[in-house]
Amino acid sequence: MNIYTIYAELAEGVKDKEFVEKITEYFNTLPQLHAFRITRMKLGFRSADLGEWRIDMEFKTMQDLDDAMDRVLYAKDTMQAHIGFAKLVDADSLDHFLYRDWPDEV
């Protein structure tokens, strides 16, 4: 499994429930996305300067991840939703990571 992780802070004025609802609605348009999880830092407890919100997206293959990224960036039906995501988070707080199950099959 390939897990694409984003850490972020919400943009000023964005409510927590609105954020989760819009992200969930958006992710439901991505057929390549196997599963996702949205979590929030508990009581601000952290040892690194990471965003309060964590989004994990699971893709079975790297091709699925690549296809989802193409859809996000180039398909007209999801492009507006992606632009909407950018308005929900503070762009300066974004951190992206890609993890894989270990040991993997490759």
Quick one: pLDDT at residue 64?
A: 96
**Per-residue pLDDT at 77 exceeds 90:** no
Where does residue 14 rank: exposed (0-12), middle (13-18), buried (19+ CB within 10 A)? Answer: middle
Going from N- to C-terminal start, the domains of the chain cover: 2-43+50-100
Residues contacting residue 94 through CB under 8 Å, at least 6 positions apart: 6, 7, 8, 51
Position with higher pLDDT, 27 vs 83: 27
**Per-residue pLDDT at 80 exceeds 60:** no
Quick one: pLDDT at residue 41?
A: 92
* pLDDT band (50, 70, 90) for residue 85: confident
Say if CB 38 and CB 16 are below 8 A apart: no
Quick one: pLDDT at residue 6?
A: 95
Topology at the third CATH level for domain 2-43+50-100: Alpha-Beta Plaits (3.30.70)
Q: What is the pLDDT of residues 2-61, one digit of tens each?
A: 999 999 999 999 999 999 999 998 899 899 999 999 999 987 777 778 999 999 999 999
Quick one: pLDDT at residue 26?
A: 86
Task: Give the global pTM.
Answer: 0.85
Three-state secondary structure call for residue 34:
coil
